[in-house]
Amino acid sequence: QQQVKQSPQSLIVQKGGISIINCAYENTAFDYFPWYQQFPGKGPALLIAIRPDVSEKKEGRFTISFNKSAKQFSLHIMDSQPGDSATYFCAARYNTDKLIFGTGTRLQVFP
């Protein structure tokens, strides 16, 4: 099944809180899992990515947690800031060159 299910559709977090976005997949052939961040009026931009042989990757306040057995991965944004307000897309790659995106999560961080 070439599908990535993303939740929640929208998320409201207070400044300083933790934002968590989840994605689930079925295809065990996926070999690369990037997250993209999109600000209004802009195209998506790569935020952070992980390969399935790693359980966690951290870059600054952004962390991907990967659970291979559960076929789930999630993005954690620590100390969320109003500037993090954007739409976040998870994605998964298969057959080396095909990328499937989740449906997106609109994050709003209020001061």
- Is 24 a binder of another protein (CB under 8 A)? no
Q: Can you give the C-alpha Rg of the chain in angstroms?
A: 13
Measured in whole angstroms, the distance separating CA 87 from the mean position of its chain's CA atoms is 10
Which range, of 17-25, 37-45, 60-68, 73-81, touches another protein by CB under 8 A?
Answer: 37-45
Cα(103)–Cα(99) distance, integer angstroms? 13
- Is 33 a binder of another protein (CB under 8 A)? no
Min dist CB 111 to another protein, Å, is 26
Sign of the C-alpha dihedral, residues 108, 3, 78, 48?
A: negative
- Is 43 a binder of another protein (CB under 8 A)? yes
- Binding site residues, another protein, CB under 8 A: 6, 9, 32, 34, 36, 41-46, 49, 89, 93, 96-104
